[in-house]
Every structure is written in C-alpha cells, then in structure tokens.
Amino acid sequence: MSDTLRNWAGNIEFSAASIARPASVDELSETVRRADKVRVVGSGHSFNRIADTEGTLLSLGQLKRAIQIDPDSRTVTVDGGATYADIAPTLHEAGLALANVASLPNITIAGAVVTATHGSGDRNQNLSAAVAALKFVTASGEIVSLRRGDADFDGAVVNLGALGVIAEMTLDVVPRFDVRQTVYLDLPAATVIKNLDALTSSAYSVSHFTRWQGTNIGQVWVKALASAGEPAADILGALPATAPCHPIPGMDGSLCTGQMGVPGPWHERLFHFAIGNTASAGAELQSEFFVSRANAPAAIAALHAAQDQFNSALFISEIRSVAADTLWLSSAYEQDTIGFHFTWQPDWVKTIAAVRAVELALAPFNPRPHWAKLFTLPGAQVQSLYPKMDAFRHLAQRMDPGGKFRNAFVTDLLFT
C-alpha cells in the first residue's frame, strides 16, 4: 500500500480519511478502538471496493513478522500482515509445507483467507480451509480467539473483513514435498470439455490457460508430485513446451516458477510466479467465477460459444479445480468447484462489458464470484448462492453490532 491510497492494480483510489500502519498488536488494538470505521487493505490485491473505507484504512505490513511452528500439531502461527512469500522459505527449511498456495506469493495470507482465494487441485481445498485458529481485534479493541470446531468458526474464516481485524492466524502444514511442473501446449477445447475430470485429476494441481480464441486451450500447467515419476510425454495429444512459459503468451517465462519437468521444492513450483518476481501482466484487472464441478463442462462450452463477446478485453483466462469445504462464505462451500479466472486489460469500460458477457454466459450455472475481484451481479443474487448467508449476518451482528468493519461495498453486497 503506497501513500497514493490506490490498490495494486491502480483502478481503485481509496477514500479513507486516514491510513494507519500499526507496528504492534497493542497499537493495532488501540487504533481499532479509537476509529469510527475500519478496513484492512492487505497487499492491495483486490480489484473492487472491498477494502475501501471513509474511515481508517489499516495496513498490517509493519507488524513484526511472527512465524511460530508447532511440529507436534503440524501448524504454523503467523501475524496478520504476513504474505505467503514471508513464510514459505521458513517452512521449507523446517521440513514443512503448505498443502496449497495462491498463484501469487506476494499477497497477504489474511487477505487471501477472508476473501476465499484459492490455489488449484481436485483434492486441494480453498486456502481458507487451512486455517486452524484465528485471533481477531474486535470493534472495542479486544482480542477474540476462535478455533476449528468452535460454533462460529466456519462462519468466521471467510468474512470479507466484516467481523474484525485478523491479528494472528494458525495454519495447517504438511511435510515438505517436491513438485515437477510441466506445461503442455494446444489442447482442443472439445477435448478439455470431454475429459475435464481426467485432466484435473491427473496431477496434484492442474491449470488450463486460454484466451478464449479459436478452438484450442493454449496451455495446460501440470504440477505433479515428484514422487509420481517422470512427466507424461503428452496429454491427450498436447505436447510439452520446449521453453519456460508465461501464462500470457509472449511474456517472459523466466518470471514464473520452474518448469520443464525439473523437480523442485513445493514453494518453487506451486505458485505460478516465483517469489520476488513481477506477477502476471502488472497493469491489469481481474474477475473470477466458480461453478459446481458437475456443471463445469457445460459452463466451458457456454463460455466458448460466447467467447467473441469478451475475448478482446482479455490478457488470459485460467480454469482450475477446488475441493469442497465447510466455510460459510467460501466459493467452494459444500461443492467441488471449477473456477474461471479472467485477467483483463486495464480498460475499464471494455472490461466491465466483458465481465457482464461472462456473467451472462455463466448465468445458468449459478456462478459464485470471487469476493475481491470484479463482478456486476446484484447483492440479492449473490446472497442466494450461500445457504448460510443469514447465519453469517447474525454472526456479524453479534461480533460487530455497530458495523465498524462494514463499508458500502460489504453492506450493499451482504446486508441489504
């Protein structure tokens, strides 16, 4: 977060009256207690006004990095400002790993958790599902702790920042592992539609990148456990790339994590972009929509049929799978899902028209939008997609009866 008060993409200028960068939890608690309205900006990697406020905008980047590993419970406890890049090398050195990560290593873990951000893999749940415990700073400045199994826990993890400020999180970890990443080129869209289950289940994590042009899916990124052996010579006829690839054709593949089937540590393969490198296109906008896995082949066909209505606004699009979880506002709540991610060119008018075209194509499949990315679906429609929405609103009313942590975006989306 810079003093220009803009998000990472530059499309949102925050309207905050003040910005605070507390250096300790005590300072954070006091800042929250004194403020009338509070939102947390995280790494600024949101594309709508979810982080905006007319009150105090909090950045937790100045908190002391806390990485406390408990090998007995196989957990790591981190501060609310930590990014995946901050903790991944330390975990690896300790012989541990996160089972799943985001595409980008530089985003804050708390920001990813509260907006239900995800990685990829048929058996890999939303990143939020790794949370074993949370400590919130409440509207009064007090600390409230919740652990997995507590009555409110499943409602509190994915919360859009509406319950309090996450000061600390405890995450599940697993023994460290190695991954081979291989990129395969030019797989017919018809083949993907017909064989989607076989493709996404073929490795630990599989992503399909397409510009929704013509009849082919341009790239299939296969992240397989190194213990599974050498990469396949082809995937349904698609051959491996002979040089490192970037998801956006024509961009520098050396910015991405290691490919060509060479085994490497989990944190040097599961992210799409290497720690310390520039991510994606840079100047871009993003959307993402999730449909039930059962509807995914028909949804791909629908997007393919409508592609000419939105592809001129695209840099690239990604198709990936996410396993079901029990978190009330998770995009994968109680259903295995396929996510359709869109990286748009930074042309607002053109992009919003394209977003609406995508939403129209996916409408028969009840798409759940990513909370922190661009969508135009009305609040009532979004609310109807979450069976526990009423329970979440009651939880928010109990934890923040004065609405200190709500802004116009969250209020319009969830509370009206």
DSSP per residue, 274-331? -TTSPPTTSS-EEEEEEEEGGGHHHHHHHHHHHGGGTGGGEEEEEEEEEE-B--TT-T
Question: How many residues does this entry show for the chain?
Answer: 416
Stated pTM of the model: 0.96
* Mean pLDDT for the chain overall: 96
In angstroms, rounded to a whole number, what is the distance separating the alpha carbons of residues 194 and 399? 47
Average pLDDT over residues 131-148: 98
Per-residue pLDDT tens over the stretch 253-277: 999 999 999 999 999 999 999 998 8
Which amino acid appears at position 312 of this protein?
A: S
Model pLDDT for residues 165-224, shown as the tens digit of each residue: 999 999 999 999 999 999 999 999 999 999 999 999 999 999 999 999 999 999 999 999
**Residue whose C-alpha is closest to residue 23's, from 77, 59, 68, 76:** 59
* Domains contained in the chain, CATH given: 67-176 (3.30.465.10), 178-369 (3.30.70.2520)
- Cβ atoms of 373 and 288 within 8 Å: the answer is yes
Average pLDDT in the 305-313 region? Answer: 98
Alpha helix (H) ranges present in 21-83?
Answer: 25-34
Report whether pLDDT(399) > 90. Answer: yes
What mean pLDDT is predicted for residues 240-249? 96
pLDDT digit string, tens, across residues 86-120: 999 999 999 999 999 999 999 999 999 999 999 89
Q: What is the three-class DSSP state of 30?
A: helix
